[in-house]
A and B are shown apart, each in its own frame.
Chain A
Amino acid sequence: MVYRIEVGFKPNIVDSSGERTKTDIYNFLGIKVDQVRTRRVYTLDIELNLEELEKVKRELFVDPVIEEVSSRLPSFNWYIEVGYKPGVTDNVGKTARKAIQELLKRRFKESEKVYTSIQYLIKSAKLSFIEIEKIGKELLSNEIIESLTILSYREVLEKGLNIPIPIVIGKQESRVKEYDLRVSDEELTQISRKGVLALTLDEMKIIKNYFYDKEITEQRREKGLSRNPTDVELETLAQTWSEHCKHKIFNALIHYRDGETEEEIDSLFQTYIRKFTEEIMEDVPWLISIFVDNAGVIKLNDTLNIVAKVETHNAPSAIEPYGGAMTGIVGINRDPLGTGIGAKLMFNVFTYCFGSPFYKSENSTQFLHPRRIREGVHRGIIDGGNQSGIPLVIGREIFDKRFGEAKPLVYCGTFGIMPKEINGYPSHIKTINPGDLIVMVGGRIGKDGIHGATFSSEELHRGSPVQAVQIGDPITQKMMSEFILEARDLGMYRCITDNGAGGLASSIGEMARYSGGCEIELENAPLKYQGLHPWEILLSEAQERMTLAVDHTQIEQFLELAKKRDVGATILGKFTDSGKFHVKYNDKTVGYLDMKFLHEGVPKKRLRAVWKKPIHEEPKFDEAIDLTIILEEMLARLNICSIEKKLRQYDHEVKGLSIIKLLVGKEEDVPSDATVCLVEYGSIEGIIFANGLNPHYSDVDTYHMAASAIDEGVRRVIAVGGKLPSEKIPFAALDNFCWPDPEQSEKTPDGCYKLAQLVRANKALYDYSKAFMLPFISGKDSMKCDSVIDGKKVSIPPSLLITVIAKMEDIRKAVTMDVKKIGDIVYIVGETFNELGGSEYYKLIGEKMKGVGYVGNNVPIVDAEKAKEIYRSMSEATDRCLVHSIHTPTKGGLGVALAKSAFAGGYGLNVSLSKVPYSGARRNDVVLFSESNSRFVVTVPMNMKEEFELVMRGNICTEVGIVIDEQRLKIRGLDGGYIINSDINRLKEVWKRTLEDV
Chain B
Amino acid sequence: MCRVLVPVGYGLNCDDETIYAFKMVGADVKKIFLKDLIKDPQRLDDYQILAMIGGFSYGDHIAAGKVLANIYKYEIGETIQRFISDGKLIFGECNGFQALVKAGILPGLNGDYHTQCATLTYNDSGVFEDRWVKLKINPKSNCVFTKNIEELYLPVRHGEGKFIVEKKAVLEKLKEKNLIVLQYADMETLKPTMKYPQNPNGSIGSIAGICDCTGRVFGKMPHATAYLSPYNHPSWTRLKVEGSLPKEGGGVQIFRNAVEYVKNNLT
- Check A387–B232 contact: CB distance below 8 A: no
Q: Which residue of A lies closest to B13 (CB)?
A: A389
In chain A, positions 14-48 with a C-beta closer than 8 Å to chain B are 14, 16-17, 19-20
- Check A482–B9 contact: CB distance below 8 A: yes
- Check B130–A668 contact: CB distance below 8 A: no
Q: How far is the CB of A23 from chain B (nearest CB, A)?
A: 8
Which of B41-49, B111-119, B188-196 participates in binding chain A? Answer: B111-119
Q: Is B184 an interface residue (CB 8 A)?
A: no
- Check A19–B126 contact: CB distance below 8 A: yes
Give the residue among B11, B66, B125, B237 with the most A Cβ atoms within 10 A: B237
In chain B, positions 67-87 with a C-beta closer than 8 Å to chain A are 67, 70-71, 74-75
- A64: which B residues are within 8 A, CB to CB? 116, 166
Q: Is B55 an interface residue (CB 8 A)?
A: yes
Q: Is B175 an interface residue (CB 8 A)?
A: no
In whole angstroms, how far apart are the Cα atoms of A698 and B128 in the complex?
A: 36
- Check B122–A653 contact: CB distance below 8 A: no
Interface string of A637-675 (1 = CB under 8 A from B): 000000000001111111110111101111010000000
- B130: which A residues are within 8 A, CB to CB? 648-653
Q: Is A565 an interface residue (CB 8 A)?
A: yes
Give the residue among B8, B58, B164, B238 with the most A Cβ atoms within 10 A: B238
Q: How far is the CB of B100 from chain A (nearest CB, A)?
A: 14
In chain B, positions 147-206 with a C-beta closer than 8 Å to chain A are 155, 157, 164-166
- Check A658–B66 contact: CB distance below 8 A: no
- Check B234–A479 contact: CB distance below 8 A: no
- Check A102–B75 contact: CB distance below 8 A: yes
In whole angstroms, how far apart are the Cα atoms of A478 and B164 in the complex?
A: 31
Give the residue among A389, A649, A650, A666 with the most B Cβ atoms within 10 A: A389
- B60: which A residues are within 8 A, CB to CB? 387
Q: Is A161 an interface residue (CB 8 A)?
A: no
In whole angstroms, how far apart are the Cα atoms of A566 and B36 in the complex?
A: 11
Question: Residue A95 contacts which of B67, B71, B131 (CB distance < 8 angstroms)?
Answer: B67
Q: Which residue of B lies closest to A652 (CB)?
A: B130
Q: Which residue of B lies closest to A24 (CB)?
A: B126
Q: How far is the CB of A265 from chain B (nearest CB, A)?
A: 46
Q: How far is the CB of B63 from chain A (nearest CB, A)?
A: 6
Q: How far is the CB of B229 from chain A (nearest CB, A)?
A: 7
In chain B, positions 27-49 with a C-beta closer than 8 Å to chain A are 33, 35-36
In whole angstroms, how far apart are the Cα atoms of A664 and B132 in the complex?
A: 11
Q: Which residue of A lies closest to B36 (CB)?
A: A564
Q: Is B1 an interface residue (CB 8 A)?
A: no
- A816: which B residues are within 8 A, CB to CB? 235, 237-238
A63-B102, A479-B10 given; A564·B235 CB < 8 A: no
In whole angstroms, how far apart are the Cα atoms of A565 and B13 in the complex?
A: 15
- Check B54–A60 contact: CB distance below 8 A: no
In chain B, positions 210-244 with a C-beta closer than 8 Å to chain A are 223, 225-229, 231-232, 234-235, 237-238, 241
In whole angstroms, how far apart are the Cα atoms of A473 and B11 in the complex?
A: 11
- B119: which A residues are within 8 A, CB to CB? 63, 65-66
Q: How far is the CB of A844 from chain B (nearest CB, A)?
A: 31
Q: Is B121 an interface residue (CB 8 A)?
A: yes
- B165: which A residues are within 8 A, CB to CB? 65
- Check B56–A475 contact: CB distance below 8 A: yes
Q: Is A313 an interface residue (CB 8 A)?
A: no
- A98: which B residues are within 8 A, CB to CB? 58, 67
Which of A347-355, A522-530, A807-815, A979-987 participates in binding chain B? Answer: A807-815
- Check A818–B238 contact: CB distance below 8 A: yes
- Check B62–A99 contact: CB distance below 8 A: yes
- Check B61–A656 contact: CB distance below 8 A: no
- Check B232–A656 contact: CB distance below 8 A: yes
Q: Is B266 an interface residue (CB 8 A)?
A: no
Q: Is B129 an interface residue (CB 8 A)?
A: yes
Q: Is B17 an interface residue (CB 8 A)?
A: yes
In whole angstroms, how far apart are the Cα atoms of A650 and B123 in the complex?
A: 15
Q: Which residue of A lies closest to B63 (CB)?
A: A63
In whole angstroms, how far apart are the Cα atoms of A58 and B173 in the complex?
A: 26
Q: How far is the CB of A44 from chain B (nearest CB, A)?
A: 13
- Check A475–B16 contact: CB distance below 8 A: no
- A387: which B residues are within 8 A, CB to CB? 11, 56, 59-60
- Check A479–B58 contact: CB distance below 8 A: no
- A660: which B residues are within 8 A, CB to CB? 237
In whole angstroms, how far apart are the Cα atoms of A659 and B229 in the complex?
A: 9
- Check A16–B116 contact: CB distance below 8 A: no
In whole angstroms, how far apart are the Cα atoms of A811 and B231 in the complex?
A: 8
- B227: which A residues are within 8 A, CB to CB? 656
- Check A65–B118 contact: CB distance below 8 A: yes
- Check B56–A16 contact: CB distance below 8 A: no
In whole angstroms, how far apart are the Cα atoms of A656 and B55 in the complex?
A: 13
Q: Which residue of A lies closest to B167 (CB)?
A: A65
Question: Residue A475 contacts which of B58, B62, B102 (CB distance < 8 angstroms)?
Answer: B58
Q: Which residue of B lies closest to A474 (CB)?
A: B59
- Check A663–B59 contact: CB distance below 8 A: no
A16-B126, A653-B130, A654-B157 given; A475·B10 CB < 8 A: yes
A interface, size bucket: 35 or more
Question: Residue B166 contacts which of A61, A65, A94, A681 (CB distance < 8 angstroms)?
Answer: A65
- A82: which B residues are within 8 A, CB to CB? none
Q: Is B14 an interface residue (CB 8 A)?
A: yes
- B20: which A residues are within 8 A, CB to CB? 656, 681-682
- Check B17–A656 contact: CB distance below 8 A: yes
Q: Is A494 an interface residue (CB 8 A)?
A: no
Q: Which residue of A lies closest to B57 (CB)?
A: A475
Q: How far is the CB of A689 from chain B (nearest CB, A)?
A: 16
- B166: which A residues are within 8 A, CB to CB? 64-65
Q: Is A103 an interface residue (CB 8 A)?
A: yes
Q: Is A630 an interface residue (CB 8 A)?
A: no
- Check A658–B70 contact: CB distance below 8 A: no
In whole angstroms, how far apart are the Cα atoms of A240 and B169 in the complex?
A: 66
A95-B61, A99-B70, A884-B241 given; A654·B232 CB < 8 A: no
Q: Which residue of B lies closest to A663 (CB)?
A: B234
Q: Which residue of B lies closest to A473 (CB)?
A: B59
Q: Is A386 an interface residue (CB 8 A)?
A: yes
Q: How far is the CB of A333 from chain B (nearest CB, A)?
A: 13
In whole angstroms, how far apart are the Cα atoms of A66 and B117 in the complex?
A: 10
In whole angstroms, how far apart are the Cα atoms of A811 and B237 in the complex?
A: 11
- Check A656–B16 contact: CB distance below 8 A: yes
In whole angstroms, how far apart are the Cα atoms of A661 and B227 in the complex?
A: 13
In whole angstroms, how far apart are the Cα atoms of A161 and B124 in the complex?
A: 31
- Check B9–A682 contact: CB distance below 8 A: no
Question: Residue B56 contacts which of A60, A386, A653 (CB distance < 8 angstroms)?
Answer: A386
Q: Is A821 an interface residue (CB 8 A)?
A: yes
- Check A649–B9 contact: CB distance below 8 A: no
Q: Is A789 an interface residue (CB 8 A)?
A: no
- A61: which B residues are within 8 A, CB to CB? 62
- Check A664–B237 contact: CB distance below 8 A: yes
- Check B11–A475 contact: CB distance below 8 A: yes
- Check B234–A96 contact: CB distance below 8 A: no
Give the residue among B35, B36, B74, B128 with the most A Cβ atoms within 10 A: B128
Interface string of B95-118 (1 = CB under 8 A from A): 000000010000000000000111
- A834: which B residues are within 8 A, CB to CB? none
Give the residue among A13, A474, A668 with the most B Cβ atoms within 10 A: A668
A17-B122, A65-B118, A65-B165 given; A665·B58 CB < 8 A: no
- Interface residue ranges, B against A (CB under 8 Å): 8-11, 13-14, 16-17, 20, 24, 33, 35-36, 54-56, 58-63, 66-67, 70-71, 74-75, 102, 116-119, 121-132, 155, 157, 164-166, 223, 225-229, 231-232, 234-235, 237-238, 241
- Interface residue ranges, A against B (CB under 8 Å): 13-14, 16-17, 19-20, 59-61, 63-66, 91-92, 94-96, 98-99, 102-103, 382, 386-389, 473-475, 478-479, 482, 564-566, 648-656, 658-661, 663-666, 668, 678, 681-682, 811-812, 814-816, 818, 820-821, 884, 941
Q: Could you give 11 example pairs across A and B, Cβ below 8 Å?
A: A16-B123, A60-B70, A61-B62, A95-B58, A482-B8, A566-B10, A653-B157, A654-B157, A666-B235, A815-B237, A818-B238
Other 5 A-B pairs with CB < 8 A, given A16-B125, A668-B234: A59-B74, A478-B11, A479-B10, A682-B20, A816-B235
